[in-house]
Amino acid sequence: MPENSVLAPPRDCPACPRLVAFREEQRTRRPEWHNAPVPSFGPERPRLLIVGLAPGLQGANRTGRPFTGDWAGDLLYATLLTFGFAEGVYDERPDDGLRLSGARITNAVRCVPPENKPTGPEITTCRPYLSGELAAVAEGGAVVALGRIAHDSTLRALGVRLAAAPFRHGAEHALGRVTLFDSYHCSRYNTNTGVLTTEMFEAVFARVRAYLT
């Protein structure tokens, strides 16, 4: 099967009116950008699924590949290369030839939201696509949630009560067929303020690598 054959929203998905309006505004301003739901990146049945929040306006929304073209992607892809979850060179372009190895990247919300803040109903509306991604993770696989929203949406997609697996950076939650690993989101805001350091981020993926070995 093609890498992106897991169910994904159509290019002109009408489900969230606010996101549709913002998408149309961006298409008018930047017609050369992707400006559509961003498909997941990586093999269809991964051992590791990384769940982000939503496409960044000038990152994935521009390039059409998750975490590509902004600081969050610089840190994420460098870390995946360090721990053997990616091969090649990350060059902030979807045609840079970078390949993921046993890993796949998706977002809780597939369309860019204004101010990078999706609403609760938008997260809920997009959750069936996340559920499909989670169902495709290999038995005994790992999920890394980047931030609380990704964590909570993942739990809800898996039918797990939020109180049963509270979010905390570095936490690990055994959830039946997969184990969930939590990390603060690798956004520039978190790294600039010291909420997340490169060492903290790499420590999460070191644990994931050890778990999957």
pLDDT > 90 fraction of the chain, expressed in percent and rounded: 96
pLDDT tens string 195-206: 999 999 999 999
| End-to-end CA separation in angstroms for the chain | 26
Residues 27, 33: Cα–Cα separation, whole Å: 7
According to the model, what pLDDT value does residue 7 have?
83
Mean pLDDT of 78-97: 97
Quick check: 186 pLDDT over 60?
yes
Q: H or E stretch including 28?
A: helix 17-29
Q: What DSSP line would sit under 105-161, residue for residue?
A: EEESSSSPPGGG---HHHHHHHHHHHHHHHHTSPTTEEEEEESHHHHHHHHHHHT--
Q: What confidence score (pLDDT) does residue 5 get?
A: 54
User: Does residue 4 register a pLDDT over 80?
Assistant: no
pLDDT reported for residue 208:
98
Record the tokens describing residue 18, joined without a space. Answer: 């606010």
Residue 89 has pLDDT above 80, yes or no: yes
Residues 107-160: tens digit of each pLDDT: 999 999 999 999 999 999 999 999 999 999 999 999 999 999 999 999 999 999
